[in-house]
Amino acid sequence: MSDRALVAYERPDGRYNLHYVHDATSDLAARLTPATPFGGADPRAEWAAGLLRDLLTATTAEAPRVASRVPDGAVTAVDPAPLAVGVRVETLPDHVVFGSHEAVFLVDRSFEVGPYVAVPFDLGPVADALAGTRLDPEAGGALVPVDPGSSVEGLRERAAGAREALGAAIDHADGSGHGFTAAAARVTLRETLGRWVGRDRLLVADGGHGRTETGP
């Protein structure tokens, strides 16, 4: 895997600081440790642990000043400067650009990393009948947790297959009950993801209604 992603670090207040990853390689989760919280290659980089500690108690106004302490020449997988500070877990999907960000990694206070795959509800790219256009500029999507023993890549491929199948169903809709309308296909995708992992485990950004939910 080599894609754009987000990393969310849990704060002492239970909220999260959100950071950007431009190149989320398959070993990213393993590289996020207390000693190398931003995935840097040098385990002696003590600046990183101290910087994250201070960021996790910083306000939005304070965060840029704290992030400015990154040493010149430091190389990290995760951008040490947060995109957002103090985000509630249920609103994390509002910060995801579905179709661009491929995954979100939640890092708890003990540095257990929980990966989520970002699945867009927009089926325009996989349905010829929609002429490759977006269903909705704010179609939203779901963050789907990756279970132990599974992988981000495997779940992404499974979700891509489901989206392609629904795109084909839209293409074959003929008005006689065969195939799907775009709206019905979107609902079916959401329900399918819920069956895979449990409806209450999805983090959902419902762009069509301008709200974020936990579960369908």
pLDDT, tens digit, 9 for 90 and up, residues 121-158: 888 777 776 665 555 545 789 999 999 999 999 999 99
Q: Are residues 20 and 98 in the same domain?
A: yes
Q: Are residues 56 and 131 in the same domain?
A: no
pLDDT at 24 over 90: no
Residue 116 lies in a domain: no
Domain hosting 195: range is 121-215
Q: Are residues 69 and 171 in the same domain?
A: no
Compute the distance between CA of residue 140 and CA of residue 99 in angstroms, rounded to an integer.
Answer: 9
Joined tokens for residue 98: 């579905």
Q: Indicate the DSSP class of residue 119.
A: E
Residue 168 lies in a domain: yes
Q: Are residues 128 and 97 in the same domain?
A: no
Q: Are residues 92 and 43 in the same domain?
A: yes
Residue 150 lies in a domain: yes
Residue 174: its pLDDT value, please? 58
Helix (H, G, I), strand (E, B) or coil at 66: helix
Question: Where does residue 49 fall: left (phi above 0), alpha (psi -120 to 50 degrees), or beta otherwise?
Answer: alpha
From residue 128, how far is each of 169, 171, 196 by CA, in Å?
10, 6, 26
pLDDT, tens digit, 9 for 90 and up, residues 53-94: 999 999 999 999 999 999 988 889 999 999 999 999 999 999
Domain count within the chain: 2
Compute the distance between CA of residue 90 and CA of residue 8 in angstroms, rounded to an integer.
Answer: 12
Which of the listed residues 82, 111, 140 is the one where a domain comes to its end?
111
Residue 181: its pLDDT value, please? 76
Residue 114 backbone dihedrals phi, psi, to 5 degrees = -110, 105
Place of tokens 């006689």: 176
